[in-house]
Structure formats: structure tokens, C-alpha cells
């Protein structure tokens, strides 16, 4: 089986995403680009994560054509492919329907630097313009919102898109930004949050370059 390690890691992280409450059922998707190859592994469409095995994760080329596996790739494959084409630093993508991040996505409000952990994404988390899921338009909007500096964005009326150099890092970004979204929501319910300025966030982002994260593991 091609890229058995990466496909197993995607299946493990899909289950971790489900356990952590970052999605439900088979919502969201995860992919990993293979270094030195024009291939990526991406979670399949229409399979419950609790049942997913490594062999269920298809491998596609950079045109979206399946080169290994029997399951259909995620309907969001065009968005993943567009991000990889635009960002050479990105080797993994985690897309969640996490409830607090999705709440702000539905409000079409960016998440500001209410907590220093926003530095996992950048100085804030911007919002990509709305488009129907799985369309080239959504892919275009996502790429534009990510630019060259952000590691996470909100997809309007949809969810969160997190990126990184590894699946572990992209998953950590998704987890931390959901926490910050929850903190922002809670702070807003009782008062007006004090937002950290860009200068402080740039110092924090610099410190995060050496921050360690652990891989997704089965319980």
C-alpha cells in the first residue's frame, strides 16, 4: 500500500478529531502532501471516522486523480489541492466543523487575539468569503484568506481550515484555535475582551517556532 504511514496517520487523526469534538460523524477532512512527490493522501468521503482504516484513505495526484485506494476522496479535495499549489510550506491540512470556530464562521467574524494561543494561526484568524462546499470558488476564497502568513482561517458559514508542515502541527493548530474561539465566545458573553496588539502577537509567534506538539494517537 502506498504511503501506509501517512494514510494511517490521517485515519488516526480523523478519529482523534471526532473524540475531541472538533467534528461529528464524517464531517471535515484531513490531508497530507507527500514530500518529494506530486501526491497527497486525503480522507475519503462518506465514511464514519470511527470505522476508517488506513486503506480507506485514498491517494490522489495534484490534479485530483486517484492513484491508489478504492474510496472516493473528500469532496473538499479541490480546496486542499489549491492550498498546496499556493503554499509550498504547507504539508498537511486539517478542516474541522468545530462548534465554537464554526459559530464565528457563521457570524462571519474573524477571531481576534483575545488569547496568546491565537499565535498558532497568526495575529488573528481571518474569514474566507462564503462559497458552496467542494467548489472551485471555495478553494479560491480559502487560498486568498490564508495568504502567505496565516496557519488557520474560518470558512464563512462552514468551519475552520488549519494548515501546517505536518499533520501533527495542523491538528494542533485546529485544536488550539477551537479553544481560543471558545474563550472568545465566553468572554463576549460577560464583557468586552481585551485584545493583544500585533506587536505582542509577533513576539509570541516567534516563540512558537520551537513549540513542540505530539502526534495523534489511538486511545
Residue 98 contacts residue 178 (beta carbons within 8 Å): yes
Contact yes or no for 35/88 (Cβ under 8 A) = no
Q: Which residue has the cell 512527490?
A: 37
Distance CA(4)–CA(69), nearest Å, equals 11
- The residue from 6, 9, 76, 175 that is catalytic is 76
Residue recorded with cell 504539508 = 91
Burial of residue 191 (CB within 10 Å: 0-12, 13-18, 19+) is exposed
The arrangement of strands across the sheet holding 39-42 comes to: 66-68, 59-61, 39-42, 29-33, 92-96, 159-164, 152-155, 127-128
**Is 76 among the residues known to form the active site?**
yes
Could you list the active site residues? 76
Amino acid at each position: 500500500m502506498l504511503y501506509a504511514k501517512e494514510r494511517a496517520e490521517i485515519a488516526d487523526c480523523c478519529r482523534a478529531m471526532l473524540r475531541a469534538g472538533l467534528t461529528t460523524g464524517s464531517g471535515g477532512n484531513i490531508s497530507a502532501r507527500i514530500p518529494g512527490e506530486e501526491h497527497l493522501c486525503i480522507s475519503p468521503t462518506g465514511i464514519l471516522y470511527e470505522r476508517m482504516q488506513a486503506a480507506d484513505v485514498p491517494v490522489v495526484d495534484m490534479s485530483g486523480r486517484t492513484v491508489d485506494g478504492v474510496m472516493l476522496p473528500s469532496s473538499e479535495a479541490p480546496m486542499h489541492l489549491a492550498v498546496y499549489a499556493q503554499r509550498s510550506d504547507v504539508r498537511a491540512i486539517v478542516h474541522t466543523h468545530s462548534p465554537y470556530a464554526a459559530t464565528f464562521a457563521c457570524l462571519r467574524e474573524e477571531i481576534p487575539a483575545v488569547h496568546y494561543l491565537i499565535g498558532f494561526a497568526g495575529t488573528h484568524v481571518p474569514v474566507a468569503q462564503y462559497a458552496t462546499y467542494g467548489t472551485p470558488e471555495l478553494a479560491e476564497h480559502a487560498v486568498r484568506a490564508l495568504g502567505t502568513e496565516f496557519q488557520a482561517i474560518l470558512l464563512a458559514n462552514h468551519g475552520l481550515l488549519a494548515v501546517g508542515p505536518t499533520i501533527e502541527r495542523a491538528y494542533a493548530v485546529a485544536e488550539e484555535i477551537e479553544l481560543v474561539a471558545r474563550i472568545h465566545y465566553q468572554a463576549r458573553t460577560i464583557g468586552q475582551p481585551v485584545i493583544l496588539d500585533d506587536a505582542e502577537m509577533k513576539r509570541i509567534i516567534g516563540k512558537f517556532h520551537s513549540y513542540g506538539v505530539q502526534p495523534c494517537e489511538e486511545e
